[in-house]
Amino acid sequence: MFVLLRHLQRTRREIALPARNRPGTLAVRHVDAGSCNGCEHELAATANPYYDLQRYGLNVVASPRHADVLLVTGQITTRMVDPLRRAYESMPEPRLVAALGDCAIACQGPGDPGQLAGPLEKILPVDLRIPGCPPTPQQIADALLHFMRERAEHPQ
Ligand code: SF4
């Protein structure tokens, strides 16, 4: 626990995002495209008081119309291909896509191969990959905060 806390504090210092007067925010629309819920569980933990990503301006939103990033978890089932494309098309520019977990990145997981559409990058352009099965909340927090810093430094 203390190792994690130290690591998170270091990440926060490196990112240098103050809790107030931060350079921007990141609105994330999450879509479960066919996961086992492991990735969702870890993603939800990043909103708890320990990681508290909202404090850094990272918010999960209910509609892709309000989102900067489409964050996808799970193996992409064939039924989810059209909803994912529609969600992406309805996002304002510049729109970004993140694949969270090995399932979304590489279509690795327990699903029935006959019902899978392949990795997310076959369907949408992927800007951020967060590997793991599932990735830990620490890894998710690191990746999203670094992504946020990159975006603030190099706006599209
Ligand atoms: S990457 Fe692992 S934890 Fe995440 S949805 Fe796939 S099987 Fe579940």
Predicted confidence at residue 152, as pLDDT, reads: 79
Q: H or E segment at 28? A: strand 26-32
Predicted confidence at residue 154, as pLDDT, reads: 77
Q: In this predicted model, what pLDDT tens digit does every residue of 42-73 receive, in sequence order?
A: 999 999 999 999 988 999 999 999 999 999 99
pLDDT of residue 34 exceeding 50, the answer is yes
Predicted confidence at residue 18, as pLDDT, reads: 45
In ligand 1, the atom with minimum distance to the C-alpha of 134 is 3
Helices vs strands, H then E, count in the chain: 5, 7
Q: Which tokens belong to 154?
A: 């190099």
In ligand 1, the atom with minimum distance to the C-alpha of 109 is 7
Indicate the angle between helix axes 2-15 and 137-153, nearest 10 degrees: 10
Q: Which tokens belong to 55?
A: 């404090």
Indicate whether residue 100 lines ligand 1 (CB < 6 A). no
Q: In this predicted model, what pLDDT tens digit does every residue of 83-94 receive, in sequence order?
A: 999 999 999 999
Give 110-155 as a 3 state SS string: CCCHHHEEECHHHCCCCCEEECCCCCCHHHHHHHHHHHHHHHHHCC
Indicate whether residue 119 lines ligand 1 (CB < 6 A). no
Which pTM value belongs to this model? Answer: 0.84
State in words which class domain 23-153 has: alpha beta
Band of pLDDT at residue 99, cut at 50, 70 and 90 = very high
